[in-house]
Structure 1
Amino acid sequence: MKNLNKSIQGVCFGEVLWDNLPTGKKLGGAPLNVAYHLNKLGVVAQMLTRIGRDENGYELLTVCEQLGIPTAFFQYDDSLPTSTVEVTIDADRNVQYDIVYPVAWDRITAEPAVLEAVSKADFLVYGSLACRDDVSFQSLLTLLKEASFRVMDVNLRAPFFGPHRVHELLRYADLVKMNAEELHIIAEWSGAPSTYTDQQRVDLLLDCFSIQEAIVTYGAAGAVYHHKKANISYHFPALKVQVEDTIGSGDSFLAAFLTKRFQMAEGVALEEVLEFAATLSGFVTQSSGACPAYNAADINRFHWLNPIFRDSERKMKQ
């Protein structure tokens, strides 16, 4: 892990919340996790969200500040509560989530200071869940028109998604990240027959929505990076680690990828970008929670102890 360029700037848009687990509450939200890791890696990443003026909101704000997540763009709602997700686990260990609606982040607004920050940032990260309400959705559309590079982190959570809104968000994306299940759902919406391979599904979406880059994650099987203009599909393996939990592993992959991707002008190769992303994702997978504490030395040591490549595992199609 090299010294990282602190001049890179990003904005993450969307949900912050408390997961109310049987064992207690835990901070959550995919864009929040991405913002945490970006800031840990030296990127100045603002978090644009909205919380209620309630006990949950003040506690969430305090925890974010302790984690080093900038809170200057946190908005405050006088009528809607801070977001919570009620998590229940039955006797068979099946997990069910009730993402309470409406909550404060359903009413995010595009204020002038936010518009200016997005226009100056290197990238804007956004997801699909935060657009379940029209207020936040319209605010995001306004911001997307100002952004220089737009990163869509697909996050399909029933019942808060459908083809119309997801397709609209994809039309703005320069880079999209999704898991294999999400790829299949969106490709089916876009007319892909069930006989298509994942490569054909990705090609269809890149063509339909004029997207240049895509990352599809496959859990323990790794991830595939696709670049339309360069005609590259690059399979990168996941690290073989002892899994503590998989919470936030994809979010850390995206944050590490973006950090290195925006250093490529300084001579960072694509292979190094993906290796770094897989390394941080592996570290988070063998840690507890989405936002474990770490520094450069921790990641360097983890990388040394857990080499990515064994017996020519990398596969690039060009």
Structure 2
Amino acid sequence: MLDRLDVLVIGECVADIVRRPGAVDQVLPGGSPANVAYGLARLGRSATLLTQLGADENGRLIRDHLTAAGVRVRTDDATAPTPSAAVTLDGDGRAAYTFEITWTLAAGGFGTRDALYRYGPPGTAHRHVHTGSIAAVMEPGAGTVRGAVESARTEATVSYDPNVRPELMGDHAAAVRRVERCVALSDIVKASDEDLEWLYPGEDPGKAAARWQATGPALALVTRGAEGALAVFRGGRVSIGAVPTDVVDTVGAGDAFMSGTLHALASRGLLGADGRERLRSVDAGTVTEVLRHAAASAALTVARAGADPPDAAELEAALKRI
């Protein structure tokens, strides 16, 4: 039986309108934070998603998808349509996005300390909070997200994935400041090499991750596609290669990496306020094992269409094969 860890994910849901060469458009549930919540629930973790959904067909599709996996979905009273993104896949399965999205998550007390208690199972508090992507940079909702994260830090660990979408980031210098503020509030940060190239053009991703780690996070992770992943932590740096797989598409790969990371950290008692000091003292062997879990989760996801992360049995079987 899994150790008890309640995770509060704060962020957007997006209806992905997937366009493949020579195929009919397909609408799939998406949104980076929603994918992380879904991935955690698939792995048997207790997950609540605080988000916005419109009262439309796409909103119903996404809610049904999440709740079927066991995610508790909590929404504000937004009247805007459910956000959507046209996802165009090239011949190698790489995804490019065009968004139609607003993010107005109402304050309504979400930024107060009791957010940890209001949205989870009765009688429990969330011990970890995850956010990122559009939700952490697009105003006015981003201010609500930052307030909730700031208030949660005394009782929960925090993870953050900027999941950079250049067309939604606004002014570059201002976007970098917003991202770095979120990084400094976090215990775990994850970014792709493409994210870091946009944020810090021409800088080595490992150096950027080391600089982030020095500002507060215990663990800074960088995904590098076919080149694997690296982690920077107080004790140094470790890298692993990519898990060999046949890529169908890359939709949701980074989110599966994130949910795999959190699952592995939780299994080792490294999340929650009571695990923060252990996380700060983590050793290279443990970090390598966490990366293996994360990379295997991502590899299983890219081997099938859409953001379809593995369940616990699939992940365990994949780890045995590696």
Taking structure 1 as the reference length, what is the TM-score of the superposition? 0.80
1:49 aligns with one of 51, 55, 58: 51
- Tell me if 1:226 matches 2:239: no
Q: Which residue of 2 aligns with 1:136?
A: 141
Q: Deviations along 1:116-150, whole A, 9 cap, x unmatched?
A: 35893221111131134322111112111222211
- Secondary structure at 1:247's aligned position in 2? coil
Q: Deviations along 1:74-103, whole A, 9 cap, x unmatched?
A: 2332x3111111345799x9965321133x
Distance 1:251 1:16 in 2: 13
Q: Which residue of 1 aligns with 2:275?
A: none
Q: Deviations along 1:58-89, whole A, 9 cap, x unmatched?
A: 23222222232222x12332x31111113457
Q: Which residue of 1 aligns with 2:101?
A: 101
Q: Which residue of 1 aligns with 2:220?
A: 214
Q: Deviations along 1:13-60, whole A, 9 cap, x unmatched?
A: 111011123422111111111111111222211111011122322232
- Tell me if 1:291 matches 2:308: yes
Displacement of 1:263 in angstroms is 2.5
C-alpha contact (below 8 Å) 2:131/2:161 kept by paired residues = yes
Displacement of 1:115 in angstroms is 4.3
* Count of aligned residue pairs for this structure pair: 289
Q: How does 1:202-281 map to 2 (within 5 A)?
A: 202-207=209-214, 209-227=215-233, 229-230=234-235, 232-265=236-269, 269-281=286-298
- Secondary structure at 2:168's aligned position in 1? coil
- Tell me if 1:178 matches 2:195: no
Q: Which structure has the bigger radius of gyration?
A: 1
Q: Which residue of 2 aligns with 1:37?
A: 39
- Tell me if 1:114 matches 2:115: yes
- Secondary structure at 2:130's aligned position in 1? strand
Q: Which residue of 2 aligns with 1:9?
A: 6
User: Judging changes above 3 Å, is the alpha-carbon distance between structure 1 residues 42 and 100 closer, same or farther for their aligned structure 2 residues?
Assistant: same
Q: CA RMSD in A?
A: 2.9
Taking structure 2 as the reference length, what is the TM-score of the superposition? 0.79
Distance 2:72 2:295 in 1: 25
User: Judging changes above 3 Å, is the alpha-carbon distance between structure 1 residues 46 and 224 closer, same or farther for their aligned structure 2 residues?
Assistant: same
Structure 1 unmatched ranges of 5 or more: 189-193, 308-318
Distance 2:263 2:96 in 1: 33
Amino acid at match of 1:285: V
1:126 aligns with one of 121, 126, 131: 131
Distance 2:298 2:90 in 1: 29
Structure 1, 168-177 or 30-39: larger mean CA deviation: 168-177
User: Judging changes above 3 Å, is the alpha-carbon distance between structure 1 residues 259 and 87 closer, same or farther for their aligned structure 2 residues?
Assistant: closer
- Secondary structure at 1:271's aligned position in 2? helix
Displacement of 1:247 in angstroms is 1.4
- Tell me if 1:301 matches 2:317: yes
C-alpha contact (below 8 Å) 2:293/2:315 kept by paired residues = no
C-alpha contact (below 8 Å) 2:94/2:249 kept by paired residues = no
Q: Which has the higher contact order (CA 8 A, sep 6+)?
A: 2
Q: Which residue of 2 aligns with 1:154?
A: 162
Amino acid at match of 1:239: V
